[in-house]
Amino acid sequence: MPFELPDLPYAYDALEPFLGEQTMRLHHDKHHQGYVDSLNAAEEKAEKARESGDFSSIRAISDAMAFNYSGHLFHSLFWTCMSPDGGGQPSGALADRINTDFGDFESFKAQFLAASNDVQGSGWGVLAWQPLGNKLVILQAEKHQNLSQWGAQPILVLDVWEHAYYLDYQNERKRFTAAFFDVVDWASVAGRFEECV
Ligand code: MN3
């Protein structure tokens, strides 16, 4: 089964003024679709390599699979991390866990924004469940897959590639990441958290 582009869970203009319709159309229909297409192409190349027994391109195939799968996974999550009814703070078990692992919500938010703002080049800010330590961790992912932790389960992701915000915020990544907290869908994040623990 080839991978498929999921629909946005809301209209293209639903997150305005945080993100404009044109940004969302380009980001979802062009960029995310591109990762899905390239992932399917890489899987096809792997299948051909197995059939022919010629694995001379395996490194490029593995690289394409890691990059495009991670891009597809993060974008699929990113759309569901936001809602026109989002913002505020999490409640329940997720709120308790954030307080335990980061001190309080404001300290978590400060670290998440610092991590997102300081990603070198293109990448992501990520809140993830780390099963070995039994705790939440904040990660920076360069591109989609560098600096990741194997097995960590991302529950909140923030796309800080320029294509995510350039039309609306130009080069002001910090204004974009700060406004992200006005649309975070904490119910969706908490649902993923509760599946982890
Ligand atoms: Mn993106």
What domains are defined for the chain?
21-80 (1.10.287.990), 92-196 (3.55.40.20)
pLDDT tens string 31-57: 999 999 999 999 999 999 999 999 999
Q: Indicate the range of 6-15, 142-151, 166-175 predicted with least confidence.
A: 142-151
**From 31-40, 135-144, 170-179, the region with the lowest mean pLDDT:** 135-144
Does the bond joining 17 to the residue before it have cis omega, within 30 degrees of 0?
yes
Q: Beta strands 123-130 and 153-159: pairing type?
A: antiparallel
Confidence of residue 59 (pLDDT cuts 50, 70, 90): very high
Measure 39 CA to ligand 1 centroid, in angstroms. 15
Residue 148: its pLDDT value, please?
75
Distance 75 CA to ligand 1 centre (A): 6
**pLDDT at site 150:** 72
* Residue range 141-168: mean pLDDT, rounded: 88
SS3 197: coil
Q: From the CA of 161, how far away is ligand 1's center (Å)? A: 6
Q: 78 CA distance to ligand 1 centroid (A)?
A: 9
Tell me the H-state helices in the chain: 21-25, 33-52, 58-80, 92-102, 105-117, 166-169, 173-180, 186-196
**What is the C-alpha separation between 197 and 192, in angstroms, rounded?**
9
Residues, Cβ < 5 Å to ion ligand 1: 159, 161, 164
CA of 184 to the centre of ligand 1 (A): 16
Other CB atoms within 10 A of residue 52 CB? 9
Tell me if residue 31 falls in helix, strand or coil.
helix
Q: State in Å: Cα 66 to ligand 1 middle.
A: 15
Specify whether the CB–CB gap between 190 and 86 falls below 8 A.
no
pTM for this structure?
A: 0.91
User: Distance, CA 96 to ligand 1 centroid (Å)?
Assistant: 30
